Amino acid sequence: MLPFEFIVEGPPVSLQTKNRARLQAWKAKVNAAATSALANGTVAITDEVTFKVTYYYEGDSPDADNIIKPMQDALVGVVYVDDDQVVETSARKRNINGAYKIKGASPVIIEGFLNGVDFLHIKVEEFQHNQELD
């Protein structure tokens, strides 16, 4: 199953929002996008993982660090059993109108750009423990 990647049209909802209904709706949207991208019969894994997200946006955007947790929570029971399996995270923001050199781009991220709207590219990979601290 890993690596697993999918896109969700944005904008994302920050963990710090006071609108709890909006936050729950966002989590449901992420959950549905992940479920839709998975092959039928795929079960949640129990391995440690790395969670990576890039938000391609136009206009204003929330802080990158505040958008991670709701998406990680949304993948519980779909991609992994519990979000404590996420041992490494990466969050980036990039203006969708920027000029990019994309080497070896997956069809998933290309689909995001072709849609022409704000989107998040989410990738979950097996955690590779290399015994080094940086």
Q: What is the pLDDT of residues 99-133, one digit of tens each?
A: 888 788 999 999 999 998 999 999 999 998 877 76
Q: Looking at the 3D structure of the chain, how many domains does it have?
A: 1
Does 117 reside within a domain? yes
**Cα–Cα distance, 52 to 31 (Å, whole number):** 16
Q: pLDDT category, 35, cuts 50, 70, 90?
A: very high
CA dihedral 85, 102, 115, 126 (to 10 degrees): -10
| CATH code (residue 103) | 3.30.1330.70
**Full domain range(s) for residue 88:** 4-126
The verdict on residue 102 lying in a domain is: yes
Cα separations in angstroms, 124 against 42, 86, 94: 14, 9, 19
Chain segment 39-96, per-residue pLDDT in tens: 999 999 999 999 999 999 999 888 999 999 999 999 999 999 999 999 999 999 999 9
Q: Is residue 71 part of a domain?
A: yes
Q: What is the pLDDT, as a whole number, of residue 100?
A: 82
Tell me, yes or no, whether 51 lies in a domain.
yes
* Mean residue pLDDT across the chain: 93
